[in-house]
Structure 1
Amino acid sequence: MTASKILAISGSLRADSHNTQLLHAAQKFNPGGLEIEIYEGLREIPPYDLDLDTPERRSDAVNELRRRVTEADGVLIATPEFNYSIPGVLKNAIDWLSTDWTRSEGVPLRRKPTAILGAGPGAFGTVRAQLALRQIFVCVDADVVVKPEVHVFNSYERFDAAGNLVDEATIELLQGLLGALKVKIDAV
Structure 2
Amino acid sequence: MTDTRVLVLVGSLRAGSVNRQLAETAVAHAPEGAELTVFDGLAVVPFYNEDVDVPGATIPGADELRAAAAAADALLLVTPEYNGTMPAVLKNAIDWISRPYGAGAVSGKPVAVISASPSPNGAQWAHAEARKAVGIAGGKVVEDVTLSIGATHEKFGAGHPSENAEIVAEVTKAVAELVAAAKDLVDA
State the alpha-carbon separation in 1 of the partners of residues 75 and 98 from structure 2: 14
Tell me how far apart the structure 2 counterparts of residues 162 and 95 of structure 1 sit (CA, whole Å): 33
Offset at residue 55 of structure 1 (A): 4.1
1:180 and 2:177 correspond: yes
Distance apart, 1:58 and its partner CA: 4.3
Please name the residue that 1:153 is paired with. 150
Segments of structure 2 that go 5 or more residues without pairing to the other structure are: none
SS in 1 for 2:90: helix
- 1:164 Cα deviation (Å)? 4.3
Question: Hey, what's the Cα distance between the residues in 2 that align with 1:156 and 1:31?
Answer: 27
The equivalent of 1:65 in structure 2 is: 65
Amino acid at match of 1:50: E
CA-to-aligned-CA distance 1:135-168 (integer Å, 9 cap, x gap): 1123112111111311111112333635342222
Does the 8 A contact of 1:121 with 1:156 survive in 2?
yes
Q: Is this contact kept in 1: 2:18–2:161, CA < 8 A? A: no
**Does structure 1 conserve the Cα–Cα contact (< 8 Å) formed by 2:161 and 2:168?**
no
Q: Which amino acid aligns with 1:26?
A: A
User: Which 5+ residue runs of structure 1 have no aligned equivalent?
Assistant: none
Classify the secondary structure of the residue corresponding to 1:6: strand
Query: Following the alignment from structure 2 to structure 1, what is the Cα–Cα distance between the partners of residues 165 and 145?
Result: 15
Greater displacement, 51-60 / 71-80: 51-60
Find out whether 1:4 has 2:1 as its counterpart: no
Alpha-carbon distance, 1:115 to partner: 1.1
CA RMSD of aligned residues (A): 1.6
Contact 2:19 2:116 in 1 (8 A): yes
Counterpart of 1:31 in structure 2 is 31
Q: Percent of pairs identical after alignment?
A: 31
Distance 1:148 1:111 in 2: 17
**TM-score, normalised on structure 2?**
0.92
What is the 5 A alignment of 1:21-170? Answer: 21-100=21-100, 106-159=103-156, 161=158, 163-170=160-167
Q: TM-score, normalised by structure 1?
A: 0.92
